[in-house]
Structure 1
Amino acid sequence: MNLATHCSVYLLEQDFGTTETIRSLCHEKSLHLTCFSSHFELLNALKADQPSCIIAANDQPHGQALNLMQDLASENHQVPVIILGHHNDVSSAVAAIKAGAVDYIEKPTIYGRLAEQLNLVVKHSFQTA
């Protein structure tokens, strides 16, 4: 049995293609993926369970990921967050990192970097377990 099956990932993403890419990647790594359509739903889920990682899209005009980062900070959640954003959106990337994100990954080429980050999440989960 793969120990990664005990790791879970929360995803805040509206784009079906990106969601399916992440679903496939999580399946490859035996990570449990839970998808959310709003950051409020995700925050409510955090009351019952603590995921190993949160992946959140910062799509405009909503900017949900940065709003989520602010809410996580105000509620003292210590979950690593990976922000997904659009290519050439330097201001959002800087804002995400300043808000505490562990990485900002540009869409649509997310697979390789996201795989690296998820490997780190799994490794960290078992070092702290």
Structure 2
Amino acid sequence: MKHLTLDKSSIFLILIILFIAACVGFLLLRLRADSLDEALKNDRILNIVFVVERAGKPAATEVFFYYPMNQRGALLDIPGETGLILKSLNRVDRIDALYDPQNPGPYIQEISKLIGTPLPFHIIFRESDLVEFVDLL
């Protein structure tokens, strides 16, 4: 049976590999870009979707456009009754037919196509959460 022996050069090589791995991990964590922070720094318009959910369906959907350069914003209401051709469902239906509380992605993508602008951020409030939030204010 062979004995595993580590000489000084093997230990030094292992330390170098560990140091390089730690540096790569540190750089990956530090160089990640926060898209919200980046948008604010680059004076891009922020597009945020706010959905108020009641009983698993959107009671209200608002798109907030904010321009940080002049600190002005605009709200666009998207009624749930907005009818359009939903290719994912292969039928004409209300836009809120796409809403799934567990996966709001397809609903938000359809709103994005409807208004013709990307919507990278969304905030979803259940009705009870909205009441608590307003009470805090």
- For this structure pair, what is the TM-score category when the shorter chain's length is used for normalisation? under 0.3
The answer to which structure has the higher helix fraction is 1
The answer to which structure has the higher strand fraction is 2
Structure with the larger RCO, 1 or 2 (CA within 8 Å, 6+ apart): 1
- After TM superposition, the score normalised by the length of structure 1 is 0.25
- After TM superposition, the score normalised by the length of structure 2 is 0.24
Higher Cα Rg, which structure: 2
